[in-house]
Chain A
Amino acid sequence: MKPARVLVTGIATAAGLALLAYLSAVPLPYHADAAAGLRLSWSARPERIEVCRAVSAEEQARREEHMRQRVECEGSFATYTLRVELDDRVVGETLVRGGGLRHDRPLYLLRDYAIPSGMHRVRVALTRRETTDNDAAAFAKAAVPEADTGLFAGRAQREVTERARRARAAIPARLELDTALAFAPGRVALVTFNAERRRLELHAEGERR
């Protein structure tokens, strides 16, 4: 091979390899320099919207012993409206419902909003769309008195306790966060739902929950 051809081949090979190295790490733009972000992320149980009725003593007597619930409810899970305002301007208003094809799974929420950096007033509201005055606990009080014995003794109380637990685990009918925050460029402020305190909380500047 002639020296000139060796040189050309060497240069071409080096250029090809340099191109390969460049293409393997091209600085690809991602987010605007001055941009900040607001992220909403939480999961929680939606409320059950139910129509309840107290089961009469006669009806209970016709059932097997283990089937004798004092209150029977039918219904579906609540849906919610999520509204996000920035400086009194609505930046997002969406319907939020439980996960899964039948929307009977917990509600998983993940929304990202691009926000110019700087001081902003942020309002986030999650509001139940359905109205209901069915209170299973109230029906329970009105139901037939405790008649269970033996293995099923105390069932009425357990029913009440379980309903109360479910109600506590569900999202309140309305959640709201209204605050002012200085959004740092390149940073994301995170809004989460604190299930114990049953309220929305803001985490900013990389602060972790």
Chain B
Amino acid sequence: MRRLRRLLRPLLTGLDGLLTRLYGWEGNPIHQTGTVAVAMLLLLLGTGLYLVLFYRVGSPAASVARLAADPWLGSWLRTLHRYGSDLFIIAAVLHALRIFVQDRSWGPRTLAWVSGLFLFGAGLICAWTGYVMAWDSFGERLALEGGRLLDALPILSEPVSRSFAGDGPVPSAFFFVNLFVHIALPLGLGAGLWLHVSRLARPVLLPPRRLMWGMIAALTVVSVLLPATLGPAANPLSLAPATPTDLVAAWWLPFSERLPAGLAWGLGLGGALLALLVPRLTRRRREAAWAPSTVDPRLCTGCNQCPQDCPWEAIRMVAREDGRPTLVAQVNPARCVSCGICAGSCAPMGVGPPERSGRDQLTRLRSGELPALRAAGALPIIAVCCAKAPAAHLQALGARGAHIHQVPCVGNLHSSVIELFIRNGAPGVMVGGCPPRDCVGREGPKWLRERLFNDREAELQPRVDRRRVRLLTLAPGDLTGALAAFEQFAAEVAGLAAPESEPEAEPDTVCDPVPLEEAAT
């Protein structure tokens, strides 16, 4: 699995870079694959509601042909429905690939992975039934293949395929059941989606408006310009030389048709089982970089900030056992993904994954990196970068004189680290994080911005000159933009007076306890 991940990573990074070059990291759809899939699902529900009004189970092919012939709403909405379903499948596949490549498919994320697979499977079945509804040559081909696969199972004494043999009309009941499945499954998708995001705090379900409406507008244009084809009506006594096949929704069809039904089932179920086992096959030992956060109850003031910032709802406040009149944070290791965002959210530095709490960050800085920098002379601009930032970006920043200080995630970074750099004479600290919607910790860049510039708890102290601090997004495919922003920042700090160096300065690490009543509010 890790080898597969290594193989896929450059492909996905390349695609990520390409899309960033085209749309900028703010509009990069690959960072929004999950929300794009949900947006497409809503689009499918909307267009489907219109289409079902005109669908007749008694004459499926004729009713769809009438829709396709309607140059106004019918053809457009039918095409939008089809292209939307294709985009849903593409987005879902890319979403799963990203999660897999980013090592987010195991442990506390197992539920999301498994429910996501079921959602994807349900989406494929929806697409299958949708094409059968149209009952053109492609729908018939899908029905025949489905019948062949079902008939290989020893569960039905009468072969399903006989319904399509041509010795009688296909019963309306078949189209009714097919329609029922096509409508019922999306309702199930809604419930599955709830399960899929149930472990997330503040789940984001829709892409940014600009991206969402841009995509719908683009699909609308292509739906008008290139309306979806409808094959000739199904005829069981006719052998079509070719069918207009949707290779996005029915990518499996060319393979399945060439295989004996038993082997097709074996490969399909084997593939599904392998995908379901991914959380097991990719899991890590919960130690070092993957160890769950811990709380030092002596330091916890009961301020209730870490539960608010935790993107996984892995922390809650509980009553203390030492008699102090405050609450204390408690981490649920089964839900903690070790993103470390709590370490950045804790002003007294009492919570975080082992070796990554605010105190650990300061200790590491003081014991090695900072003395070495001071020994080398005046401190350069410090570029605090996410460890997942593209290597080319780090090299380029280093080549421009910045000192690279890597952190597992910028959301993990305690604001005191920035303060310590600046009070030791660094002319500026530039924090380079991932694009906000591409953060493995989900909300790292968002919370960091709030802590640095909007006084969110564990804020950067007022004594630190904000002009010396800058946030930067390091996205694959946007090296030029990142370097331009860095150079602008370097020019700005060069124009400031030389910073005061206070090597003995100590950032605040002690906070007042927060009384129970205050924590509750």
Interface residues of A (CB under 8 A from B): 8-9, 12-13, 17-18, 20-21, 23-33, 35-37, 39, 41-43, 99-101, 105-106, 108, 110, 186-188, 190, 192, 203, 206, 208-209
Top 8 nearest A-B pairs by Cβ distance?
A: A99-B157, A41-B165, A28-B245, A31-B239, A105-B157, A25-B244, A21-B226, A17-B222
Q: How far is the CA of A209 from the CA of B222 in the complex (A)?
A: 44
**Do B218 and A13 touch (CB < 8 A)?**
yes
Closest chain B CB from A46 CB (angstroms): 12
The 25 sampled A-B contact pairs (Cβ below 8 Å) are: A13-B22, A18-B222, A20-B248, A21-B228, A24-B246, A26-B244, A27-B243, A27-B245, A29-B241, A31-B240, A41-B165, A43-B162, A99-B157, A105-B158, A106-B158, A108-B157, A110-B159, A186-B239, A186-B241, A188-B238, A192-B167, A203-B167, A206-B238, A209-B167, A209-B168
Interface string of B248-273 (1 = CB under 8 A from A): 11000110000000000000000000
- Inter-subunit contact B23/A33 (CB<8 Å): no
Could you say which residues of chain A place their CB within 8 Å of the CB of B247?
A: 23-24, 26, 28
Chain A neighbourhood of B23, CB < 8 A: 9
| Interface membership of B434, Cβ < 8 A | no
Chain A interface helix/strand/loop/mixed: mixed
Chain A residues lying within 8 Å of B159, measured Cβ to Cβ, are 99, 108, 110
Per the CB 8 Å criterion, the residue count for chain B at the interface is 43
- 8 Å CB interface, B407-421 against A: none
| Binding-face segment, B82-90, B195-203, B313-321 | B82-90
A207 to chain B, nearest CB (A): 8
* Residue on A nearest B244 in the bound complex, by CB: A25
Assembled-state Cα–Cα distance A30/B136 (Å): 14
Q: Is B237 an interface residue, CB under 8 A from the partner?
A: yes
| CA–CA, A37 and B161, complex, Å | 16
**Interface residue B166 (Cβ < 8 Å from any Cβ of A):** yes
- Contact between A108 and B22, CB atoms less than 8 A apart: no
A18 touches B237 (CB 8 A): no
Contact between chains at B165 and A110 (CB < 8 Å): yes
Evaluate whether A26 and B158 lie within 8 angstroms (CB atoms) in the complex, with A41-B166, A209-B168 already known: no
Give bound CA distance, A120 to B241, whole Å: 22
B235: CB under 8 A from chain A?
yes
CB distance from A108 to the nearest CB of B (A): 5
B244-A9 in contact (CB<8A): no
Q: Is the CB of A190 within 8 A of B165?
A: yes
Q: A17-B219, A41-B162, A105-B157 are in contact. Are A190 and B237 (CB under 8 A)?
A: yes
Bound form: Cα–Cα A33–B241 in Å: 6
Query: Taking the complex as formed, is B141 at the interface, i.e. its CB lies under 8 A from any CB of chain A?
Result: yes
CB distance A20 to B228 under 8 Å? no
Across-interface contacts of B221 in A (CB, < 8 A): 17
Q: When A101-B154, A110-B161 are in contact, do A187 and B237 touch as well, CB less than 8 Å? A: yes
Contacts of B246 in A (CB 8 A): 23-26
Q: How far is the CA of A193 from the CA of B42 in the complex (A)?
A: 49
Enumerate chain B residues within 8 angstroms of A35, measured Cβ to Cβ. 239
**Is the CB of B242 closer than 8 A to any CB of chain A?**
yes
User: Is B454 an interface position by the 8 A CB rule?
Assistant: no
Query: B224-239 CB contact bits vs A (8 Å, 1 = yes)?
Result: 0010110000011111
Q: Are B154 and A30 touching (Cβ within 8 A)?
A: no
CB nearest to B257 among chain A residues = A30
Name the distance in Å between A59's Cβ and chain B's nearest Cβ. 35
Q: Kindly identify which residue among A21, A30, A39 contacts B141, using a CB–CB cutoff of 8 Å.
A: A30
CB nearest neighbor in A for B166: A190
Bound together, the chains give a CA A8 to CA B18 distance in angstroms of: 12
**Closest approach, in angstroms, between the C-beta of A181 and any C-beta of chain B?**
13
Q: How far is the CB of B1 from chain A (nearest CB, A)?
A: 28
Residues from chain B with a CB closer than 8 A to the CB of A37 are: 239
On chain B, the residues within 8 Å of A26 by CB distance are 244-247
A29: chain B residues within 8 A (beta carbon):
241-242
